Homo-oligomer: A and B are copies of this chain.
Amino acid sequence: MMVTVLSGGVGGARFLRGMSSVAKMDNITIVGNVADDLEILGLHVSPDLDSILYGLAGLADDERGWGRAAETWSALEAVAELGGESWFRLGDRDLGLHLVRTQLLREGMALSAVTERIAGALGLSCRLLPATDDPVRTFVETPAGTFPFQNWFVARGHRDEVDAVHYAGAPDARAAPGVVEAIDAADVIVITPSNPYVSIGPILAVDEVRAAVERRRVPCVAVSPLIGGRAVKGPADRMLRRMAGGTTPGHVARYYEGLIDALVLDEADAPAELPAGVRAVVTRTLMRDERARRQLAQDVLDAAGAPA
């Protein structure tokens, strides 16, 4: 059973840890969001890919919820002391990865090849692919102006309401090598419980990726990132309320119109009215521990196996 997962960062990584214990790692291909990548301190940082890498390699800091465990913060302290850019929190171990990635990119290696090398060095046997090797970047339009994603999300603490989201570079972007093939070859396509607008949206904004999902002949199952109409973390609920008019499972499902066959949602949101062609799968979606993560991944695979 080949599983191809479109994934955002933190929530996606948590879900994938569950998936990695119920599906064979070798049979999982992850297509990760790279539209919140940024250049900072001269380094290329790919926060979503890294959350996935750290999560699956057992290196994630579960308490903090992002970044690496046993992290230190000396470099950024020195940067701040010297008046450098220190608003984006980069731990020292994390920096090590960014240094290696940036150097390989500067030598001309594509992000997909760099990511493959890093995943290999961390011992991952699943495939992790950036949605694209081209520079796609999310911008958010707010009453205070239009901001690059991380400037809004981190520097401004995602306090501004979002009126619209743009994916700069998406019209010209090609899917990274292997992405379309992995979607075409999948027995099930999964969309992680991530922010539709800023985590999954930019993946689907790459025409070749969206087209591959649209022409699927296998089930595509999304997991709602909302519980009781609220985001577990982050601004997904506020964004859906403002841009989609509400935070019910129906609002989530309509975002993925034509792309999904089932929406896995929490008991707190049932019963749900979903668009025609999208089946509701009700379960518990809060991934509070390893057992809950594994159960959610199993429910997703079961949903895919059930008759549509």
Binding site for B on A (CB under 8 A): 41-43, 68, 70-72, 74-79, 81-85, 91-97, 99-100, 102-103, 106, 117-118, 121-122
Contact A95 B75 (CB under 8 A): yes
B residues near A71, Cβ cutoff 8 Å? 74
User: In the complex, which of the residues B77, B96, B99, B122 contacts A96, with contact meaning CB atoms closer than 8 Å?
Assistant: B77
B residues near A81, Cβ cutoff 8 Å? 96, 121-122
B residues near A68, Cβ cutoff 8 Å? 78
Q: A82-B97, A103-B41 are in contact. Are A92 and B118 (CB under 8 A)?
A: no
A92 to chain B, nearest CB (A): 4
Interface CB pairs A-B, < 8 A, 27: A41-B99, A41-B100, A42-B99, A42-B102, A42-B103, A43-B99, A72-B92, A74-B91, A74-B93, A75-B75, A75-B95, A75-B96, A75-B99, A76-B96, A78-B94, A78-B95, A79-B96, A79-B99, A81-B121, A81-B122, A82-B118, A83-B100, A83-B117, A84-B96, A84-B99, A84-B100, A84-B103
The CA-CA distance from A177 to B106 in the complex, in Å, is 31
The CA-CA distance from A42 to B95 in the complex, in Å, is 12
The CA-CA distance from A117 to B84 in the complex, in Å, is 11
A39 to chain B, nearest CB (A): 10
A156 to chain B, nearest CB (A): 22
B residues near A72, Cβ cutoff 8 Å? 72, 74, 92
